[in-house]
Amino acid sequence: MGSRKKRQEKRKDFVKPKLRVGKTQANAANFTSTSFKSKSIQLRQQITTNLSTDDEFRKQLSLLKHHSSTSRKEVITQLTTEITNLTSASNFPYDELMTKFKPLVLDSSQKVRESSILLLKQISTTQPSILMLHQNSLVLFILSAMTHIDQSIRNDSIKFLEVLISAPSFDLSEAIIRANWAKILRNFMQLMNWTVEDGNKSGSKSVSFSVTTGTAALNSAKSAKRQKERKLIQIKLLANFIMLGCLYEKRKEAEKQASFVDEEGKNNSDKYGGVIQIHAFTKAYMIQSKANPFGNLKLFNAIEIPNHSQAQIKSNTKDSKTFLGNGSANPLIDVDGLTSEDITNRRKILIEIFYPGLVLGLTDLLNDENPDLKKVSQTLLNDLEEIKNDYELDSQK
C-alpha cells in the first residue's frame, strides 16, 4: 500500500497538465507574487541651501567634476548665489574654486558653460584680485577653447574672454592684454577664419589660421541669422580688445586734457581761484602706471619681427607656432615668444603681422547686409588706420 502511494506521487511530477480554453494555468509550487508596490525617495538636488563652513564649500567644489552635467550646473548656480551673498571677511576657498573652475571652459555641456560664465562675471565683480592671480592659466584654457574642434565651445570661448576684457577692474584687462596680446590676436584670426599675409611684399601669399576639422559640416547646420549675431559679438570684442591695447591710453590722455578746458577754451583751474596747482615736474617723481616708462631712452632692445629673408627656417610643419610665407620651408615667427608689455611692441605686432589679414576680413564684412555689423567693422577699420599712423610716427623717431 505504501509503495503504491509513493509511485502515484512520483507520477504526478511527470504528468502533463491539461490546458483548457478560458481557464488560467495553475501556479507552480515555488511561485512568488510580484503584485506589491514599493515607495522610494529620490534626491534630485545634491546641494545644501546654505554653505557656511569651509568643509561644506570644498564638498561642493568636488561636485564640479561630477559625471552628471545637471549636478555640475546646480553646483555652479549655488556657488554663484553664495559668492554674491558673501562678505569680505568670509574665508571662501577662491583658489580651490579657480583650480576646479578652469576646466569648465572646455566642458561638453553648453548649460554648464553658460552657468560658468555667470560665475566668472560674479568673481570678476567681487574678487578681481583672484582673477589677477589665475589670469595666465585661465587665458590658456580660453585660448584652447577658441581653437576647439567643437563649434559650440569655440563660440562660448568669446563670452569667457569678454568677461575678462570687459571686467570692472581695468587692471585685470590690462594685465591680460599685456601678457597675451599676440596669442589672443592669433586665435581671433583662427576663430574668424581670416588669413595672415607674409611681410615680404614680393611674391607674398596668405596663410589661413582657420580650424579645418569638421568646420564646414558644423557651420552648415547653423542658421544664417545666428551666424551673423555671433559674428557681430566677435567683431565687437575684437574692436574693444584692440582699442584697449593700442588706443586706450592715448584717448584717456586726450579726455584728461580736454576736461581742463571748457567750451570757451579757458582753463577750468581758474574757476577755483588757482587753488589747484600741479607742478610741471610732478609726473616725473610719481610711480609710473605703465610698463617700460623709460622706453624712449632705448635702454633695452625692441622686439624684432623677422621678415621673409631673416626668419628662421624650419621644415617641421607640425610645430604649434605661427607660420608665415609659402613653400616647403616657411619662415617661423614665434608669436608666443613676442613680448607685448608696452604699447610700442603691441602696435608693432599688430601692424607687421596681423594688419593685412584684419583689413582684408573687415573689408569683406562691409558688404554684409547687417547694418550693425557694417558699422562695427568700419569703426574697427578706422581704429586700425589710426594705430597704423601712430606706429609710423613712432618708427620715424
The grid coordinates listed for 46 are 545634491
Is 1 a domain residue? no
Same domain? 77 vs 151? yes
What digits encode the pLDDT tens for the residues 46-57? Answer: 555 455 566 777
Same domain? 135 vs 238? no
Average pLDDT value over all residues in the chain: 78
Contacts of 193 (CB under 8 A, 6+ apart): 208, 209, 210, 215
> Please, are residues 112 and 76 in contact by the beta-carbon 8 Å criterion?
yes
Is 66 a domain residue? yes
Same domain? 349 vs 245? yes
Element (H, E) at 314: strand 312-314
Angle between helices 128-146 and 151-165 (to 10 degrees): 150
Same domain? 238 vs 367? yes
Query: How many domains does one find in the chain?
Result: 2
Same domain? 198 vs 315? yes
Pinpoint the alpha helices (H) of the chain: 2-12, 54-62, 69-85, 94-101, 110-126, 128-146, 151-165, 170-192, 215-220, 224-246, 248-259, 343-349, 355-365, 371-396
> Please, are residues 80 and 43 in contact by the beta-carbon 8 Å criterion?
no
What digits encode the pLDDT tens for the residues 72-100? Answer: 999 999 999 888 887 665 678 888 999 99
> Please, are residues 190 and 211 in contact by the beta-carbon 8 Å criterion?
yes
Same domain? 161 vs 188? no
Q: Which domain holds residue 350?
A: 178-211+223-252+300-397
Task: Report which listed range, 273-277, 330-334, 387-391, is most confident.
Answer: 387-391
What digits encode the pLDDT tens for the residues 131-142? Answer: 999 999 999 999
What is the spatial distance between Cα 101 and Cα 122, in angstroms, rounded to a whole number? 13
Task: Say which DSSP state 380 is in.
Answer: H
Contacts of 147 (CB under 8 A, 6+ apart): 154, 187, 190, 191, 211
What's the number of CA atoms in the CB half-sphere (13 Å) around residue 160?
Answer: 31
Is 329 a domain residue? yes
Count of CB atoms situated within 10 Å of the CB of 383? 15
What digits encode the pLDDT tens for the residues 232-258? Answer: 999 999 999 999 999 988 888 787 777
Same domain? 199 vs 330? yes
What digits encode the pLDDT tens for the residues 294-306? Answer: 665 666 556 666 6
What's the CATH number where 87 sits?
A: 1.25.10.10
Q: Please tell me the predicted confidence (pLDDT) of residue 2.
A: 65
Residue that has been written with the C-alpha cell 584684419 in this structure? 358
Same domain? 61 vs 135? yes
Same domain? 86 vs 109? yes
Is 327 a domain residue? yes
Is the pLDDT confidence value at 320 over 90?
A: no
Of residues 113 and 289, the one with the higher pLDDT is 113
Is 150 a domain residue? yes
Same domain? 336 vs 357? yes
Distances from the Cα of 2 to the Cαs of 5, 10, 14, 85, in angstroms?
5, 13, 20, 88
What is the spatial distance between Cα 163 and Cα 166, in angstroms, rounded to a whole number? 5
Of residues 189 and 320, the one with the higher pLDDT is 189
